[in-house]
Amino acid sequence: MSAKIAVITWSLYGHVAELANDAIEGAKAAGAEVKQFQVAETLPSEVLTKMHAHKAATDALPVIKPDDLKEFDGFILAFPTRYGRAPAQVSAFFDQTGGLWATGALVGKFGSVITSTASQHGGLETTALTTIPWFVHHGINFVPIGYQFPELQEVQKIQGSSAYGAGSVTSGDGSLRPTEQDKTVAKGQGKHFANVVGQFVRGKQ
């Protein structure tokens, strides 16, 4: 039986959605069954317009509901950082999972994080760190990537990934797109995550 993985994305300008697609490619290459969702938007359309948001990358995706999480063995969460943590939209979704916590429905499942930020010191690692408590409270096993990818050692070019997971640096005006290095790490993260989860699923059998 293949591992069932949900890739759950909230992306305001499309950067992190691009990395999520790379992770999906990697996970599928490892034999996982993958379904992609978006996190519900909480901002009104007029505000999104004023922010010049670009939601086309995720608009067609189904909106994740808490009970959907029970169907999967693992989750890759892909969202940009907001003040070094998850955006309010993602936090609002986390807050809806209390019923799952009360029943232990997610204990033993797996999670990983992909993110993006405007600057090199804008919270790429802290966003992963501040998401781990949600994993911990649900008994979800956090799967980092470590330093298995040589791209993480790059210091001559801007790169947004870390041992916690893939990421990108977008610039304050959003003009920087994920680099080929960022995309390679995201694809590798998807493959690594699928292999870890898949090994667990096979072991249970």
Residue 137 has a pLDDT of 98
Summarize pLDDT for 51-66 with one digit per residue, the tens. 888 888 898 999 999 9
Query: What pLDDT band is residue 48 in, cutting at 50, 70 and 90?
Result: confident
Query: What pLDDT band is residue 190 in, cutting at 50, 70 and 90?
Result: very high
Collapse the DSSP code of 86 into the 3-class scheme (helix H, G, I; strand E, B; otherwise coil) and give the result: coil
Average pLDDT over residues 107-114: 98
Taking the C-alpha atoms of residue 15 and residue 92, their distance in angstroms, rounded to an integer, is 21
Query: Any alpha helices (H) in 33-163, and if so which ranges?
Result: 45-50, 88-95, 98-103, 124-138
Query: Any alpha helices (H) in the chain, and if so which ranges?
Result: 15-29, 45-50, 88-95, 98-103, 124-138, 180-204
Instruction: Write the CATH number of the domain with boundaries 4-204.
Output: 3.40.50.360
pTM recorded for the entire structure = 0.95
Average pLDDT over residues 112-138: 95
Residue 182 has a pLDDT of 95
Closest CA to 78 of 43, 32, 124: 124
Q: Where are the domains of the chain?
A: 4-204
pLDDT above 90 for 119: no
CA distances from 200 to 32, 135, 166, 196 (A): 12, 17, 22, 7
Residue 176 has a pLDDT of 84
pLDDT above 80 for 174: no
pLDDT above 90 for 121: no
- The pair of structure tokens assigned to 17 is 């959605």
Summarize pLDDT for 49-105 with one digit per residue, the tens. 888 888 888 989 999 999 999 999 999 999 999 999 999 999 999 999 999 999 999
Average pLDDT over residues 117-144: 95
Residue 16 has a pLDDT of 96
- The pair of structure tokens assigned to 184 is 């390679």
